Structure 1
Amino acid sequence: MTLEPIGLGIITPSANSIMERDFPRLEIPKVGFHFSRVLNSEDSLEQLSAMKERAREAAQLLSHARWVKAVALGCTSGSFIGGVGYDEGVSDVLTEASGLPSITTSSSILVALRALGLRKLAVFDPYEPWLSAKLVAYLQGNGFEVVASHCNFGMVRTEGLDDYQPINEWIAPRMPDEADGVYIGCTNFTWLRGIAPLEKAIGRPVVTSNLATVWKLLQIAGYPHPVPIAGTRLSQLDVWETA
């Protein structure tokens, strides 16, 4: 059977410069990425909370593109800012507006971590402390134990240079022995091609916001088989139909 083209619709924060660059690099057969934006000029409670409704029109417009099969809000903080269960409400808004299966980055993270059997997490993100604390609370409220949390990494060190190595060098020496895996937050922060080298260096699985988002989007869009996303452990799991 010939696979028809599949479009993945992604709503990005307006300041995001990573997803539109990194996702097409994956060169997944028959998959195209389509993007829309919502306001995010600062990580304030007001702007992050407003994303839920602002994403409504963006989801509707993405659904107009031919072959689009699923939609995601590609923002971590914008989909956990309201606490446990908030991500599900955001997904409901996207589905109502687009008529398509929808996810958020935060809900995708939970599924990915559980698929890998991770429970004790070391969490790394570029957020200010108040926002990082909300991320930790969201993960803990969903049944994960956060054994270490590090935040406030300056994205300017890696964003313009298109270099994941500073992130990996920040994380590797800060890994506690009791953590069974790593979660790296923020869709404007994580480099897909840096995950496999970090997993090799620390000997444990790594989930990032962008990895979880594209992995789950492919599933709900009906892509028929697993995709080896940048050589990561998550993409090698035999859980494609059930995750």
Structure 2
Amino acid sequence: MHDVPDIQSIANRPKLDARPIGKRVGLVVLATDHTTEPDFQRLVAGPGIGVYAARIPYANPTTPENLRKMQPALTAGAALILPGETLDAICYSCTSASVVIGEEAVRAAINAAKPGVPVVTPTAASAAALRALGARRIGILTPYTLETSRPLVRYFAREGFEIAAAACLGMEDDREMARIPPGALVDLARAATPADAEALFISCTALRAALAAAEIEAAIGRPVVSSNLATAWACLGLCGDDRSRPEIGRLMALPASASRRST
């Protein structure tokens, strides 16, 4: 064994930055989620914005009862994201559960761990996105069963949108929803968008719809809002990032700060 020199202790430590990365976005995602983190790394993360995720227990099938069971885990999940440090935004990445649990209950549970941090839900973010795009009469496409889709459609009706048509795929497992090819969503969206709809909302954070948004818009000739596209846009707004990226979709060409004015 070679001799090891004494370790020198450096007395003058460097001055520390206030934060390793300027802005922080937290994600509370389902244990089964395949899609949200890759979408947020592509759409939100960058040199000035860090994305930090925690996973909470979830068991399929995707029914209102199982979705509701996540509520007690929201506080503990949020607490695991950079404990003791503040965030610029925190997103609960489940569209159907945001409806079933209720947006105010979701915010209260997350703020119990992260007081004062703005909480983004896919439902509120999507409603804000549709308003920012000027859409009032919309089509809705979900991968869920009828039982799980109905509360979601009623949510958008309560938010003042006219529902031109709604369609669902009848799927029960969010892991299978994530396996739908983005290209297949283009055909599904074309079939689900009625002629009189001003925009299409594609629900579910498991779907890889954000990858296909621009292609879908080209196919239907109208704006598309997906769950992850809307939450990414809202989180960018809370971080003050107003970059225009029309190649991703019409929503991402709008200033993200509009997400706060449209709620």
TM class by shorter-chain length?
A: 0.7 to 0.9
Q: What is the CA deviation profile of residues 49-71 of structure 1, one whole-angstrom value per residue up to 9, with x for unaligned ones?
A: 12223111111221428674211
2:97 equivalent to 1:78: yes
**1:72 Cα deviation (Å)?**
1.1
Cα drift, residue 229 of structure 1: 6.9
Structure 2 residue matching 1:219: 3-state secondary structure:
helix
**Amino acid in the other structure paired with 1:210:** N
Contact 1:219 1:240 in 2 (8 A): yes
Q: CA deviation at 1:159?
A: 3.4
TM-score normalised by length of structure 1: 0.87
2:102 aligned with 1:104 = no
Which SS does the other structure have where 2:165 is aligned? strand
**Residues 145-156 of structure 1 correspond to what in structure 2 (within 5 A)?**
145-152=162-169
Structure 2 residue corresponding to 1:218, chosen from 205, 221, 236 = 236
Aligned to 1:164: 182
RMSD over aligned Cα atoms? 2.4
Q: 2: CA distance between counterparts of 1:227 and 1:52? A: 35
Aligned to 1:208: 226
Task: Point out the structure with the larger helix share.
Answer: 1
Instruction: Give structure 2 stretches of 5+ with no counterpart.
Output: 1-18
- Check the 8 A contact 1:56/1:97 in 2, yes or no: yes
1:128 maps to which residue?
A: 145
1:63 and 1:98 in contact (8 A); partners too: no
1:95 equivalent to 2:114? Answer: no
CA positional deviation for 1:8: 1.1
Question: Which position in structure 2 is the counterpart of 1:141?
Answer: 158
The reply on whether 1:183 has 2:195 as its aligned counterpart is no
Match runs of 1:1-150 below 5 Å: 5-26=22-43, 28-42=46-60, 43-64=62-83, 68-82=87-101, 86-99=102-115, 100-150=117-167
- Which amino acid in the other structure matches residue 154 of structure 2? A
Deviations 1:105-159 (A, max 9, x none): 1111111111111111110011011111111111111111111111026577773
- Compared CA separation, residues 34 and 230, structure 1 to 2 (3 A): farther
Q: Residue 129 of structure 2 aligns to which amino acid in structure 1? A: A
How big is the shift at 1:238? Answer: 4.0
Gaps (5+ residues) in structure 1? none
What SS does structure 2 have at the residue aligned with 1:51? coil
Normalising to structure 2: TM-score of the pair? 0.81
Decide whether the 8 Å contact of 1:73 with 1:103 is kept in 2: yes
C-alpha distance in 2 between matches for 1:159 and 1:188: 5
Measured in 2, the distance between the counterparts of 1:134 and 1:197 equals 28
Against the structure 1 CA distance between its residues 164 and 153, is the aligned structure 2 distance closer, same or farther, given a 3 Å change threshold? farther
- Range with greater deviation from structure 2 (108-117 or 89-98): 89-98
State the SS of the aligned residue for 1:231: coil
Q: Which has the larger radius of gyration?
A: 2
1 CA distance for matches of 2:191 and 2:42?
A: 29
**Contact 2:136 2:198 (8 Å CA) reproduced:** yes
Moved over 6 A (4+): 155-158
2: CA distance, partners of 1:71 / 1:229: 25
Find the aligned partners of 2:178 and 2:211 in 1 and give their Cα distance.
14
Question: Per-residue CA shift, 1:148-204, capped at 9, x if unaligned?
Answer: 11102657777347x300011111133211101000000001332200111111110
